[in-house]
Structure 1
Amino acid sequence: MESPGSVPARPLSYEGVWRFTAPALDVSVPQARHAVRDLIHRQAVPVHDDVLQGLLLIVSELVTNAVRHAALLSPQVAVEVAVGPEWIRVAVEDNHPYRPKALETDSANTGGRGLLLVKEITREAGGECDVEHTASGGKIVWAALPLVPLSGAAPV
């Protein structure tokens, strides 16, 4: 018998890593969100609906940031989805070296808070997020969320 939180002896049917690229264009934002949603449904990932909605918003924010701020140096963005037995991670990679920082709330400015939103969604779900540099000089912005939110509600 496995202890809670241990890694199963063999991967569950929904576990894996998937990666796709998209042009750094506005149209790629909804396409990436829909591709991630469809992948999660196709793989029958047992993710709670609240977590899924937060994850899809994170995908939209991260791809939007890459399109708006990195397209000049990165005509393509890569989206990676990794699913483990108890978590799901999304990452967006571009070739721009700038490491973004989450802005603080400013009621006078309606933009520039995407990463703050990503951090808040991730924190509320009990997950983690970060920005890492790539060997090629670009960056990967990622967020990992538990399949079941902190409240302990059952997955759908």
Structure 2
Amino acid sequence: MLQVQLAVAADPVEVGRARRWVRAQVLAFGADPGAPFAETLVLVVSELVTNAVVHTGRPAALRLSWPPDPAAPLRVEVADASGTAPAPRHAAASATNGRGLELVELLCARWGWYPQGSGKLVWCELDRAPLADGGSAREHGMLTA
């Protein structure tokens, strides 16, 4: 199991840095950065890091666990110092935010959270296998440009 970690400052610009870091990790692990799971991984990390730094205003730690078995899911963890539980919302169609955890729930095999010290750890597991018909999440209307 390969594990890597990135310290994330309490600044919204860190979300973009986290996305770039994840893309670099996909390459470092020898995977295709254009693969459907890689696009989904970047989106999920973006949503979880956004929640951690924007909604808590505190630094966070982003961890990726990459099993050598391609059939095993990737695990993403974001730990922050806020004890507030993550609460999925169902945003109105006209809303410009509020869909982060809903996307995580839709795109990941599993997700959850647990208290950790005075804060929490939010985790999700993402399958690397393509969708049953070989398409990507974008092709299925789950992601937009």
Question: Which stretches of structure 1, 4 residues or more, deviate above 4 A after TM superposition?
Answer: none
Q: Which stretches in structure 1 are left out of the alignment for 5+ residues? A: 1-14
Which residue in the other structure is 2:139 paired with?
none
The 8 Å contact of residues 32 and 38 in structure 2, kept in 1 or not, is answered as: no
CA drift of 1:100 comes to 1.3
Q: Is the 8 A contact 1:37 1:56 kept in 2?
A: yes
Aligned to 1:116, the other structure's residue is in SS state: helix
Pairing 1:108-147 to 2, within 5 Å after superposition? 108-122=94-108, 127-134=109-116, 136-147=117-128
Q: If the length of structure 2 is used for normalisation, what is the TM-score? A: 0.82
Residue 109 of structure 1 aligns to a residue whose secondary structure is coil
Q: Which residue number in structure 1 is paired with residue 14 of structure 2? A: 28
Letter in 2 for 1:43: F
Once residues 105 and 74 of structure 2 are traced to their aligned partners in structure 1, the CA distance between those partners, rounded to angstroms, is 15
Q: Which has the larger radius of gyration?
A: 1
Q: In 1, distance between residues paired with 2:133 and 2:96?
A: 34
TM-score between the two structures when normalised by the length of structure 1: 0.77
Report SS of the residue matched to 2:88.
coil
Contact 1:24 1:67 in 2 (8 A): yes
Shift of 1:47: 7.8
Percent identity at matched positions?
30
Over the aligned positions, Cα root-mean-square deviation in angstroms equals 2.0
Instruction: Report if aligned partners of 1:48, 1:147 keep a CA contact under 8 Å in 2.
Output: no
Q: How many positions carry a matched residue from both structures?
A: 132
| Alignment check: 8 A CA contact 1:48 1:149 kept | no
Give distance in 1, aligned partners of 2:85 and 2:126.
22
Deviations 1:120-148 (A, max 9, x none): 111xxxx11111211x1211111111111
- 1:26 is paired with a residue of what secondary structure? coil
Task: Give the 3-state SS of the residue equivalent to 2:61 in structure 1.
Answer: strand
Read off the aligned partner of 1:151 and give its amino acid letter. A
Work out which of the residue numbers 70, 82, 89 in structure 1 matches 2:56. Answer: 70
1:50 alignment counterpart: 36
Contact 1:95 1:137 survives alignment (8 Å): yes
CA contact (8 A) 1:93 1:139 kept: yes
Give the alignment partner of residue 92 of structure 2, picking from 106, 111, 116.
Answer: 106
